[in-house]
Amino acid sequence: MSEFIELRGVSKSYSRGGENLQVLDRLDLDIPRADFVAMMGPSGSGKTTILNVIGGLDRPDAGSVRVADTMVSEISSRTLPGWRARHVGFVFQSFNLVPVLTARENVMLPLLLTPLSRAKRREQAEFALGIVGLTDRMNHRPSQLSGGQEQRVAIARAIATDPDVIVADEPTGDLDRDTANEIMALLTRLNGELGKTIVMVTHDQVAAESAKRILHLDKGVLVESGRRGS
Amino acid sequence: MTTPWGLALRHIREHWFRNLLTVGAVAVAAFLFCFLVSLIVTLDSQVEESSQNRLVVQSSVSLFVTLPIDYHPKIAEAPGVAEVTKWQWFGGYYQKPENFFAQFGLDPEPFFRMYTDDIAIVAGPEMGTKAKPKEKLITKATDATPERREAVLRAMLAEKRGVLIGKAVAEKFGWRVGDTIPLIGTIFPRADGGSWEFQVIGIFEKRKANVDEQTMFFRFDYLEEALRQKAANGPLGSGTYFVQVARGADPSTVIAGIDALFANGPQRTKTSTEAAFQQSFVSMLGNLPFFLGTIGGAVVFAVFFSVVNAMLISGRQRLRESGILKALGFRDRAIGALIVYESVLLTGGGGVIGVALAFVLAEGLRKVLSNFFPNFIVEPRTMALGLAISLAIGVVAGITPMVQLIRTKPTEALRSVG
Amino acid sequence: MALPIGYSWRNLLVRRVSTLFTALGIALTVAVFCGVFSLRNGFQQLYRPRGSLELALYLRPGATSEGESGITREQANILLKERPEIVRDAAGEPMAAAETYLAVYMKKLDGGLTNVPLRGVQPMSFRVHEVPPTIVEGRMLQWGADEIIVGEPLTGRMQGCRVGETVTLNLTPFRVVGVFTAPGAYGGEIWGDVERMMEALERPAFQRVIARIDPLAVEREVDVAAVNEERAAGGLAPLPTALEALSEELRDDPRAPLQILSEREYLAKQTSFLSAGLLVLALFLTVIMGVAAVLGAMNTMIAAVSARTHEVGVLLAIGYRPRQVFGAFLVESALIGVVGGLLGLCIVAPFHGIETGATNWNTFTDVSFSFMLSPQIVGIAFGVAFILGLVGGALPAYSAARLEPVDALRIR
């Protein structure tokens, strides 16, 4: 059976400051369903780029990207946002919550793109917040939450639409050790209990240990370093 | 295409003070725009409402040259002339030179016959002088009956000093039917240095936009008698004659006929329609309409830039958020629509306030401007235009940040420091 | 040690577009202010007092302008023969001229009708003024002929005012034989022989007598104290000058009741309507546009403060005082005001000297004058721009100064 997420021959280059940088060069990658992959490597190694093409935020110059049944690299830019809304959940390093909305409203945001009624959306958002343990902070604004709490809201938002894959870019980057551990525990739970496929980029070795496997990326070349429990 | 409209309102509330400033600036501009355009409209309406079937006969040389009295019967006999009255500017004031207003000496009977549609007699001699101070002595224009008009005409014919005054004058000085009012003449000063005495026998309200309610009509023969008896000084004659064209007659033919009568003097005449006469006053304002229009344009321009500025600032701060929304799956157009929506809400709100302010203040402004721009009016058309421009500013001001937000890729947007 | 002006200035440069747009709002306010005031100034300059000679006008009592006045030939004769204050020339002739004045219809070259002042003069009219009209084209008019000379601005604005053309007054054609220049409002008039005028127009009365008078003779002629005593008895305020007292006395003269006032005072009064009107217009527009400009400036400064919150936190942490932060932002917005002022002046400057015309509502005649900026107008306009900038920035600057370093630094 073909894998849940499949990258074939993916190449991507950027021009920065006049120079052309080849970030990914004919990369292949397979991610099975319910996998929890951590990608590590020095800056500029292309790990964020891989996240972006999986999440449909960016398009490869060459090659194909398939997520579940969809050829993400093929679908039109018109349909891409819609696909993102239904199939991907994002978690960012700097949380990226909308400051003028409350926690619950932030979680409800992606649900606006579904045909659910208002009441249903609230229900689903509150459910997601329940999973991350922030029901009592629903009506708070991001400025009133601690960093860890903000990230948990972000995670709740990421799972609110029940996406195929959660894409996390340095989820613990702005957090202290203890809070980072909490977040990683939460992600582990989501992956283990709820079967969510998670692709994560991180600098944090400890955070990476939570994943089922760790991939190292250097100059666009992927090297698997080890499977947990192998 | 789902658009999180609620986010727009949230944004507006978030920076409520700044947005209040934007709304305020647009309100100010909309108000000023309406005011300036209304000034121009007021001037135009004076001419529009003027009659093509009434003629003004004046000296070909100057408005200030009086035409001989014996022109009256000659004009009356000219072909196509239904009515003719003398119409002499008096140029007096009440107590202080600042209290000047228009006074015209005329012949009551032709005048009343000619001006049936333009004015409504709202107070007549039946009101009496014994009324108590707070009693409402002016009735509505709809109560103006032909009987009252008859009564006022008769009162004027009976009392040589009788005058018909406009409602605005009555209200300004608190005059009522039955009051004796003293006026100082400047063109026709009394020989003893004192004041002229007139008696109020009626009050009128305008029925057309080009009638100035700050006017008093008195009997020309009262002036004539005083001049002949040397009780007062000044030229004997009438500065103008007002003529009613007979039904079915062609105004331009009548005009030519009248002027031909006096082609050999003693005073050559220049006859024109009332409309053309009014227009000549407007054209004496010279470039004023253009001037005002330019200023109105400058204001709109300035505020437009200010709003564009405010929206660009908002847009810049919104970059990060637009990246989030895009990542979450909202469409570019939805995100762009959001900021245009915000922009239009703000300018539309400001426009409504400014236009409403112009409407509310119109009455007060009319009183203040009455000496220079009688019948100042803020038309619904002007208000609609002001509102439309405000909305248009909103749309255009929202477009630049919209384009910027749409064009920025989500990955870049997320990287930006909002 | 305050934050250097360079800090404020450079911040402005960084947000160039924002600064420019805000300055534009202030610039337009300044432009409108200067524009209307320079129009008013140009108009008033026409009537400003010139020369040192004491010239007086005799008018009918109660007339506020020549047009309203009427003096019979009899009265004029009595005046010239008997008034001791009128200066006499070497030959013993009174230096006084009886003139007529009428606002006559003329067609403008660009269409439309207007009123032009037509003055019937006597030979003495040319000698009474310190700077009499000077013929610059054609020739001087012949006395007794149906000829007129026209003021220079009229040739370019009115139909039929060039040398050789004809202006018909009532039934009589008058030939334009010369063009003249004259200081002040006289420069826009048409002059002709008063006797010919009176006949052609069938108006057998003068409007005024203009005369050179001897102020000392005025003082000798009237007992100011006595006049004021009488006024006090009647509950009236005392008159300050001898001339005014003389006017009061003349008014009661049974044979030739007249008023007298200096030409200076008369001219000043002739500006009242339009001057006042333009003043009101200028203030009204400036206030309204100023409010809009301030709102715009405030908006910009609030955004500036909000974008630099972290930076302010750093400054405060380093050791700058809130007062200095306040000052820096205030300077920034004041600078926007200055830039706006300069821009505004650039917008109006080309208007200076442009000839225009308006109707003088006192005399009801067309007057030609130019837009005239003056140092005072420019100075005040600058001040206004500066203040608009300050007012716009005050509140935001204050809010910046009240930031707590700890909170400010927390913002990314």
Scanning every residue of chain B, which has its alpha carbon at the shortest distance from the alpha carbon of C27?
B302
Model pLDDT for residues C355-378, shown as the tens digit of each residue: 887 888 888 888 888 899 999 999
**Tokens for B24?**
């305020």
Measured CA to CA, the distance from residue C20 to residue C264 in angstroms comes to 46
User: Measured between CB atoms, does B368 come within 8 Å of chain C?
Assistant: no
Instruction: Residue window 255-314, chain B: list those with CB within 8 Å of chain C.
Output: 264-268, 270, 280, 283-287, 295, 298-299, 301-303, 305-306, 308-310, 312-313
**Tokens for A10?**
């993916």
- Residue C311 — pLDDT band, cuts 50, 70, 90? confident
**DSSP code at position B162:** E
- Is residue C112 exposed (0-12), middle (13-18) or buried (19+ Cβ within 10 Å)? middle
Section B150-172 average pLDDT:
90
The confidence score (pLDDT) of residue C364 equals 85
Substitution target in C170, C281, C360, C365 with the highest count of B β-carbons within 10 Å is C170
Give, to the nearest 10 degrees, the angle between helix C242-251 and helix C224-233: 60
* pLDDT(C198) > 70: yes
The fold for domain A5-227 equals: Rossmann fold (3.40.50)
Give, for A151, the enclosing helix (H) or strand (E).
Answer: helix A147-159
Q: Structural domain boundaries of chain B?
A: 5-47+286-415, 61-267
Beta-strand pair B215-219/B102-106: parallel
User: Which residues in chain C are closer than 8 Å to B306, comparing Cβ atoms?
Assistant: 21-22, 25, 292-293, 295-296, 299
CB contact under 8 A, B306 and C299: yes
Amino acid identity, residue B288?
L
Q: Phi-psi region for residue C86, left (φ > 0), alpha (ψ -120 to 50) or beta?
A: beta
The confidence score (pLDDT) of residue B183 equals 95
Shortest CA distance to B111 belongs to which of B209, B204, B217?
A: B217
**Tokens for C155?**
């040739």
User: Measured between CB atoms, does B96 come within 8 Å of chain C?
Assistant: no
Measured CA to CA, the distance from residue B224 to residue C54 in angstroms comes to 39
Substitution target in A53, A113, A150, A169 with the highest count of B β-carbons within 10 Å is A113
Measured CA to CA, the distance from residue B371 to residue B367 in angstroms comes to 8
The confidence score (pLDDT) of residue B158 equals 92
Number of Cα atoms under 13 Å in the Cβ half of residue C281: 23
**DSSP code at position B408:** S
Per the model's pLDDT, the better-predicted residue between C219 and B253 turns out to be B253
CB of B114 closer than 8 Å to CB of B54: yes
Model pLDDT for residues B57-110, shown as the tens digit of each residue: 999 999 989 999 999 999 999 999 999 999 999 989 999 888 889 999 999 999
CB contact under 8 A, C29 and B302: yes
CB contact under 8 A, B328 and A110: yes
Query: Looking at CA atoms only, how far is residue A84 from chain B in angstroms?
Result: 5
Percent residues over pLDDT 90 in chain A? 45
User: Which residues in chain C are closer than 8 Å to B183, comparing Cβ atoms?
Assistant: none
Scanning every residue of chain B, which has its alpha carbon at the shortest distance from the alpha carbon of A56?
B327
Q: Which chains touch A (3 or more CB pairs under 8 A)?
A: B
For chain A, the maximum distance between any two Cα atoms, rounded to a whole number of angstroms, is 51
CB contact under 8 A, B268 and C171: yes
Number of Cα atoms under 13 Å in the Cβ half of residue A30: 4
ipTM above 0.90, yes or no: no
Phi, psi of A166 (to 5 degrees): -100, 125
pTM: 0.79
* pLDDT(B143) > 80: no
The confidence score (pLDDT) of residue A229 equals 44
User: Which residues in chain A are closer than 8 Å to B320, comparing Cβ atoms?
Assistant: 96
Give alpha helix (H) positions in B78-219: 108-114, 146-158, 167-173
Measured CA to CA, the distance from residue C337 to residue C330 in angstroms comes to 11
User: Which residues in chain C are closer than 8 Å to B317, comparing Cβ atoms?
Assistant: 303, 306-307
Scanning every residue of chain B, which has its alpha carbon at the shortest distance from the alpha carbon of A81?
B329
Residue with tokens 């009219």: C125
CB contact under 8 A, A81 and B332: yes
Section B13-42 average pLDDT:
89
**Tokens for B154?**
């008769």
Query: Looking at CA atoms only, how far is residue A115 from chain B in angstroms?
Result: 10
Scanning every residue of chain B, which has its alpha carbon at the shortest distance from the alpha carbon of C19?
B309
- Residue B138 — pLDDT band, cuts 50, 70, 90? low
